[in-house]
């Protein structure tokens, strides 16, 4: 196996590890000096650098599938661009795109949304998240997040002066919310609960009963609920995704984040939308006018096809195969010495319990990358409850899955 000289193989997620020259750091704002880099994006970038140097890395780190965006979606965007659709759109997004989002919500989520007042186009789900946080919290306000949680939640909340309050999801509870723990985290500064289902990284899909734990607490404390549903088109094994917005008691308080990055392999397009009550959308439009102007014009045309049309066989067959790859990968990972892993309820990650190996998640992830050229994400990047786990992306090619497993066996035997 080829060894690389640089860059560093460190997979840790240390605050202050920005790429800025050391000499310049004193001039930077504290919010960025104190921020961790995104472990997932950083490791994925490191993999690209290594691959460019000729190192044969099997990449299970980034949350992206091996498939490209379906052709009909690309064609719609390319045609729009060639036809001159290259100018700014309304800050809220094109009416046609918002109409397609409303069609999707009705068809797949049982939600009747008014595209005029309840939907805004965003450049990816992360932009929707930023708008949701900026719209709902003042400096010093608290936002409940899960532990473990998607790596960008806590930094995003902090960037805007908020305080992320992690509530543990214990593996013994199947990584589900415990109502007492959620209630115990409430203070007079709590403004919102931010969560994700299907869950990144644990793969849990919350049932309506699980969601009602959040609904009860949000109603009792008059909170917004920010629901990140980026993996919602991929619940497995006959499960159904439920949008918390459809649960009784959520009227006027749910902010739903949707995107195409994961389920339509559109991570490079940077497109999604938010569905929320009219006052929230109106506030987001003001923010978007200043922060970004709008989501990209011809990208919205392609995304209107991706959301507006019923998913065709190219996508549905791909999703079916992703489920098979998740099953395969988790069974294989489960057989590694000291490791246990059950297939996810939804989404496309294996959440591998490595506590039997005696190594920390960072040490093992670093060793896998350095010595065996397999990239995974250490669970510690997702919160304190992530320690003892690795996140492994399962939607790579069959050849990559087999080769990655072979290398992991070599590393752990």
The residue among 230 and 333 lying less far from ligand PMP, judged by its C-beta, is 230
The residue among 98 and 407 lying less far from ligand PMP, judged by its C-beta, is 98
In the complex, minimum distance from the CB of residue 321 to ligand PMP, in angstroms, rounded to a whole number: 20
C-beta of residue 115 within 8 angstroms of C-beta of residue 101 = yes
What DSSP line would sit under 184-199, residue for residue?
HT--TTEEEEEEESS-
The residue among 272 and 383 lying less far from ligand PMP, judged by its C-beta, is 272
In the block, tokens 């640089």 appear at 6
Q: Whose CB is nearest to ligand PMP?
A: 124
In the complex, minimum distance from the CB of residue 166 to ligand PMP, in angstroms, rounded to a whole number: 15
Residues near 94 by beta carbon (within 8 Å), at least 6 away in sequence: 121, 297, 300, 301, 304
Other CB atoms within 10 A of residue 192 CB: 23
The residue among 125 and 305 lying less far from ligand PMP, judged by its C-beta, is 125
In the complex, minimum distance from the CB of residue 162 to ligand PMP, in angstroms, rounded to a whole number: 17
C-beta of residue 260 within 8 angstroms of C-beta of residue 121 = no
Q: Which of 235, 195, 185 is nearest to 215 (CA)?
A: 195
In the complex, minimum distance from the CB of residue 381 to ligand PMP, in angstroms, rounded to a whole number: 12
Beta bridge partners of 340: 353
Q: Which two tokens stand for residue 408?
A: 């992991």
The Cα 21–Cα 129 span in angstroms is 29
In the complex, which residues of this chain contact ligand PMP (CB under 6 A)?
63, 124-126, 150, 196, 200, 228, 230, 259, 261, 267, 272
Q: Which two tokens stand for residue 369?
A: 């990358």
The residue among 230 and 408 lying less far from ligand PMP, judged by its C-beta, is 230
The residue among 230 and 401 lying less far from ligand PMP, judged by its C-beta, is 230
In the complex, minimum distance from the CB of residue 50 to ligand PMP, in angstroms, rounded to a whole number: 20
In the complex, minimum distance from the CB of residue 271 to ligand PMP, in angstroms, rounded to a whole number: 7
The Cα 318–Cα 264 span in angstroms is 9
The residue among 150 and 322 lying less far from ligand PMP, judged by its C-beta, is 150
In the complex, minimum distance from the CB of residue 125 to ligand PMP, in angstroms, rounded to a whole number: 3
Q: What is the CA radius of gyration of the chain?
A: 21
The Cα 257–Cα 244 span in angstroms is 11
C-beta of residue 334 within 8 angstroms of C-beta of residue 356 = no
């Amino acid at each position: 196996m080829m060894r690389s000289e640089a860059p560093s193989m460190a997979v840790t997620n240390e605050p202050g590890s920005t790429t800025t020259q050391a000499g310049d750091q004193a001039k930077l704002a504290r919010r960025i000096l104190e921020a961790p880099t995104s472990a997932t994006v950083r490791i994925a970038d490191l993999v690209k650098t290594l691959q460019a140097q000729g190192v044969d890395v099997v990449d299970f780190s980034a949350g992206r599938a091996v498939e490209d965006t379906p052709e009909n979606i690309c064609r719609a965007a390319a045609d729009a661009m060639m036809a001159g659709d290259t100018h700014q759109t309304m800050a809220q997004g094109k009416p046609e795109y918002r109409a397609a989002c409303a069609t999707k919500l009705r068809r797949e989520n049982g939600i009747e949304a008014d595209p005029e007042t309840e939907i805004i186009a965003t450049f990816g789900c992360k932009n929707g998240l930023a708008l949701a946080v900026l719209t709902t919290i003042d400096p010093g306000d608290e936002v409940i997040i899960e532990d473990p949680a998607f790596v960008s939640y806590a930094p995003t909340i902090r960037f805007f002066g908020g305080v992320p309050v992690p509530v543990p999801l214990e593996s013994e509870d199947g990584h589900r919310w415990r109502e007492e723990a959620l209630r115990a985290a409430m203070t007079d500064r709590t403004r919102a609960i931010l969560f994700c289902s299907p869950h990144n990284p644990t793969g849990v899909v919350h049932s309506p009963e699980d969601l009602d734990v959040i609904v009860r607490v949000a109603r009792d404390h008059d909170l917004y609920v920010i629901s990140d549903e980026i993996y919602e088109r991929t619940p497995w094994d006959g499960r159904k995704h439920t949008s918390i917005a459809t649960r009784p008691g959520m009227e006027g308080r749910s902010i739903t984040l949707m995107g195409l990055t994961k389920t339509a392999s559109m991570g490079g397009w940077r497109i999604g939308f938010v569905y929320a009550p009219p006052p929230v959308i109106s506030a987001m439009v003001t923010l978007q006018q200043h922060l970004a102007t709008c989501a990209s014009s011809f990208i919205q045309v392609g995304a209107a096809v991706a959301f507006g049309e019923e998913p065709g066989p190219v996508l549905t067959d791909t999703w079916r195969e992703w489920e098979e790859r998740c099953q395969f990968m988790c069974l294989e990972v489960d057989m590694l010495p000291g490791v246990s892993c059950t297939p996810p309820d939804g989404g496309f990650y294996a959440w591998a319990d490595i506590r039997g190996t005696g190594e920390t998640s960072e040490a093992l992830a670093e060793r896998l990358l350095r010595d065996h050229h397999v990239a995974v994400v250490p669970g510690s990047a997702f919160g304190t409850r992530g320690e003892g786990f690795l996140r492994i992306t399962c939607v790579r090619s069959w050849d990559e899955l087999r080769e990655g497993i072979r290398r992991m066996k070599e590393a752990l035997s």
